[in-house]
Chain A
Amino acid sequence: MQTTRKARAIGVLLLTAGVVATLTGCSGSTGGGSNADSGTYTFWDPYPQYDASSDWAKLIEQCGTQAGVTVKRTGYDTTDLTNKALLAGQQRNSPDILLVDNPVVSTLADAGILTDTTDNGLSTGTIAQNILGAGVLDGKTYGVPIGANTLALYYNPKVLQAAGVDPASIKNWASLDDALAKVKAAGKKGITFAGINTEEGSFQFLPWFWGAGADLTKLNSPQAIAALTLWTNWIKQGYAPNSVIQDTQTTSWQEFQTGEFAFGENGTWQKASAAQMGAQLITIQTENGGPAPVPTGGEFFTIPVQKDAARYKTSAKIVECLSSGDNIVKTDNTLNYVVATQSGQQAQLSTDSTMKTWVDAVGVAKARTGDNLGTKYPVISEQLWTAVQKAESGAASPTAALAAAQQAVDAKLNK
C-alpha cells in the first residue's frame, strides 16, 4: 500500500516537473536579443517589403556604421509588429530602435516600453508640432516621425468634365454636394471612401468630423452629427455606393480605379497609382470652406527601454541619422511620405512639385492621439467607427448612433 502511495507521489512530482519545464521552456524563447552583443543594435520596422538589398536597408546599415555599431534590422507586418513589440517588452528584450505606426506609440508608451526624449536624448529639432503630436503623451515625447501621410480627395478629371464640374468650384461641403449631384445626373458614380468598422473607417471619417468643427472628446456634438449626416446622405442619395460600408482604403481605391467614380478619398500612398490613371487631387474642405484638418498617418522612430541605459545614446544617434537631412528626404520620397520638417518639405517640393497638395494637407493635419487623448483615442475611435457603421447602414440615425457612442465612451473611460 505504502509503496503505491510513494510511487504515486513520485509520479505526480515528475509530472509537475515535466509540465513546469515545458512551460518555462515556452516562455524562455528569445525575442529581440538586443543584449547579444554590445556592438550590435537591433532595429524593427513594419516594412517587410524591403529586403537587405533595398535602399532603406542600406541606409540603416550606413547610419549604424556612422555611429560605430552594426545594426541588425528585421521587418515585420504592421499588425504583427505591435504584438511582437509588446511581447519583447514583456520579456525585457525589446529592440534598440522600434519603428511603429503612430497611434500605437501612446499605447506602447503607456505600457512603459518606451523611453522619452529626456531619457534617450533624442533631438526633436525642427519637426512640425502637429506631426510630432502623435508621439507626445502627458508632455513627454516618445519618438520622432519618419514622415507623415494623410488623406485628400482624388478626382477623376474625365468624369468631372463629362458632368460639367470644375474641381476648383469645390470650396465647402455644399459645393461638393452640388458636384456630386451633377455627377450622378450625368450617369456616373459620385464618391467612394472607406466606411468600414475598423480604425481605417475612423481615419477616413476624421477629416469630415474635424472639418465640421467637432471634437473627439464629444462625439454627440451637433458638429459631429452634421459630419455623419453628410456621409449618410451620400449613401442615401446614391452619391456613394452601398459598398463603402464595408470598404477598406484598398477596396475603395479599387472602386475609384474603375474610372466610374468622380471622387475617391484616399491617402498619399496612392500617389503613383493615381498618376497612372490620370487622377488629380484637391484637399478635403471643411463644412464652411478652407482645408479640413486631416489625420496624420505614418510611423514613429521610438527607443524602447533597455537594461543597459548606456545604449540609448547610440540608438539616438542612429535615429537622428535616419530622420534628418538628405537621408529622410530620400526615404520619404520612396515611402510616399511628406517629410516632418519644413526644410525637408521644401527639399521634397523642389524635386517633386506634385507633392504640393500633400504638403499643404500635412500642414493642417492633426495627430489622432493628439490633444493629449493618448490611450483614450482607441476607445473613442472604436465607438466612432461603430456609430458611423450604424448610421451608414440605417441601423440608427446619426444623432442616435453618436449619442450611443458617447455614452459607451463615457462608460469605458470612467471604468
Chain B
Amino acid sequence: MSKVDTNATASRTLSAARNRVGAVDAASTRGNRSRARRQAQWVAWGFIAPLVVYLVLFYAFPLYKNIDLSVRHYTVRSFIDGTAPFVGFQNFTEIFTSSTFWPAMVNTGIFVFVSIAFQFAIGLALAVFFFKHFRLSGLLRALFLVPWLLPLLVSASTWSWMLNSDSGIVNAFLEAFGIGQINWLTSPHWSLVAVLIANIWIGIPFNLVIMYSGLQSISADVYEAASIDGANGFQRFWRITFPLLRPVTAITLLLGFVYTLKVFDIIWIMTRGGPATSSTTLAIWSYQLGVGSLLPDFSSAATVGNVLIVIALIFGLAYARVQRRLAA
C-alpha cells in the first residue's frame, strides 16, 4: 500500500518540478530553454532517484528473490554452488497438500480476526472513555501504552511465565475459584487462546492511540448540536462518533490486519506454534520450514511467505477499493 502512495507522491513532485521550470521557460530564449529543460529533467531524476533506488533495493529485489526461491528447489547445496533447479509450482503443490496447511490457514484466520475484533473493540471503548478528560486521565492513558513500549520478547516471556501450567500465576488465581489446572501453553485446545490473549493485550494501545486521535478530529459542535436535539449518550456514539470515525477505523483495521497477519515473535516465544500445529500460523510455519530445523528448506519457507503476501495484498486492494468508493 505505502509503496503505491509514495510512487504517487513521487510522480506528483516530478510534474510539479516540470511545471515550475515550464514557467521560467517562457521568458527565456530557445537555446536557454532546452538547456533549462534538460537541467529540469536532471533535477527531477535527482529527486526521484533515492526513492526508486530504495524501492528497488528493499522492496522489488527481495520480492523478486522470494518469488524466485519459491519456484526452485533450493537446498543447502544450492546456497554454495548457486544451482537450484527450476521446479515450477511443485513447492506450492507440496505446501497446499501438506497436513500443516489447513491448520495453519485456520489458525491464522482465527488469530487475525479474533485479535483485531477484541483489540479494536477494547481500544475504541478505552478511547471514548479517556476522551472524557477526567482527573488523572492523561496519566492512566500513558500507562495503557506500556504494553506497546515493552519489547515483545519481554511481554511474551512474561505471559508464558504467567500462563505456565504448574507454576503460573493465572492458574494459581483460577485455582482459588476452584477451577482446575488449565494447560494454557501445552494443551492443543488452549494454546491458540493463550497466544490470542497475549496478542490482544499487546495490540490494545495501538488501537487506543489511533482511535483517540480520531476522536479529537471530530468537532465538538456536532456533539453540541446533537445534545440540543436531545440525543442520548448511546445515540451520540452510534450516530456521530462511530460514523465520523469511519476513515480512521478503516486504516486502523487494515494496519491491524497486516500487523497481526505477520505476528511471529509472540507465538514463537510462547508456544513455538505447538503443541503439534495447534498454534501454528502461516508466519510460524514459514519460519519452521526455513530455519526451524537443522536442515533449512528455503524454498518451502519462501512459498509460504508468498501465500502470506498474497493474502495481505487481497485485503490491501479491498481496502483501496472501499476507500475509493468512499471518496467518490
Taking a contact as CB atoms under 8 Å apart, the answer to whether B272 and A197 are in contact is yes
Q: A211 to nearest B CB, angstroms?
A: 23
Q: B292 to nearest A CB, angstroms?
A: 8
Partner of B80, one of A113, A198, A395: A113
Q: Which of B167-212 contact A (CB under 8 A)?
A: 167, 181, 183, 185-188
Partner of B276, one of A4, A199, A395: A395
Query: B102 on the interface (CB 8 Å rule)?
Result: no
Q: A86 to nearest B CB, angstroms?
A: 6
| Chain A residue nearest to B45 in the complex (CB) | A11
Q: How far is the CA of A15 from the CA of B41 in the complex (A)?
A: 14
Partner of B76, one of A8, A110, A198: A110
| Chain B residue nearest to A103 in the complex (CB) | B294
Q: A389 to nearest B CB, angstroms?
A: 5
Residues on B with beta carbons closer than 8 Å to the beta carbon of A3: 34, 37-38, 41
Encoded as 1 (CB less than 8 Å from any B CB) or 0, chain A from 1 to 45 comes to 001100110010011001100110000000000000000000000
Q: How far is the CA of A86 from the CA of B164 in the complex (A)?
A: 37
Residues on B with beta carbons closer than 8 Å to the beta carbon of A401: 276
Given contacts A107-B294, A242-B183, A395-B275, whether A112 and B49 have CB atoms under 8 Å apart is: no
Encoded as 1 (CB less than 8 Å from any A CB) or 0, chain B from 257 to 301 comes to 000000000000001111110100000000000001111000000
Q: A15 to nearest B CB, angstroms?
A: 6
Q: B279 to nearest A CB, angstroms?
A: 11
The interface stretch among B22-30, B50-58, B248-256 is: B50-58
Query: A390 on the interface (CB 8 Å rule)?
Result: yes
Taking a contact as CB atoms under 8 Å apart, the answer to whether B57 and A22 are in contact is yes
The interface stretch among A56-64, A168-176, A377-385 is: A377-385
Residues on A with beta carbons closer than 8 Å to the beta carbon of B56: 15, 19
Q: How far is the CA of A262 from the CA of B49 in the complex (A)?
A: 68
Residues on B with beta carbons closer than 8 Å to the beta carbon of A103: 294
From DSSP, what is the main secondary structure of chain A's interface residues? helix
Residues on A with beta carbons closer than 8 Å to the beta carbon of B274: 197, 245-246, 389, 393
Residues on A with beta carbons closer than 8 Å to the beta carbon of B164: 243
Given contacts A4-B37, A8-B41, A14-B49, whether A107 and B276 have CB atoms under 8 Å apart is: no
Taking a contact as CB atoms under 8 Å apart, the answer to whether A390 and B275 are in contact is yes
Residues on B with beta carbons closer than 8 Å to the beta carbon of A379: 293, 295
Encoded as 1 (CB less than 8 Å from any B CB) or 0, chain A from 359 to 380 comes to 0000000000000000101110
Encoded as 1 (CB less than 8 Å from any A CB) or 0, chain B from 52 to 80 comes to 11001100010000000000010011011
Query: A396 on the interface (CB 8 Å rule)?
Result: yes
Q: How far is the CA of A321 from the CA of B99 in the complex (A)?
A: 50
Encoded as 1 (CB less than 8 Å from any A CB) or 0, chain B from 223 to 234 comes to 000000000000
Given contacts A110-B76, A378-B294, whether A243 and B186 have CB atoms under 8 Å apart is: yes
Query: A104 on the interface (CB 8 Å rule)?
Result: yes
Query: B81 on the interface (CB 8 Å rule)?
Result: yes
Taking a contact as CB atoms under 8 Å apart, the answer to whether B76 and A107 are in contact is yes
Known: A15-B52, A19-B57, A197-B275. 11 other contacts (CB 8 A): A3-B38, A11-B41, A15-B49, A19-B53, A113-B80, A242-B165, A242-B166, A246-B272, A393-B187, A395-B278, A408-B99
* 11 chain-A/chain-B pairs, Cβ below 8 angstroms: A8-B41, A15-B56, A90-B79, A107-B76, A110-B76, A243-B186, A378-B293, A393-B275, A393-B276, A408-B99, A415-B73
What 7 A-B pairs are tightest by C-beta distance, nearest first?
Answer: A393-B275, A378-B295, A378-B294, A7-B41, A11-B45, A245-B186, A395-B188
B interface list, Cβ under 8 A from A: 34, 37-38, 41-42, 45, 49, 52-53, 56-57, 61, 73, 76-77, 79-81, 94, 99, 164-167, 181, 183, 185-188, 271-276, 278, 292-295
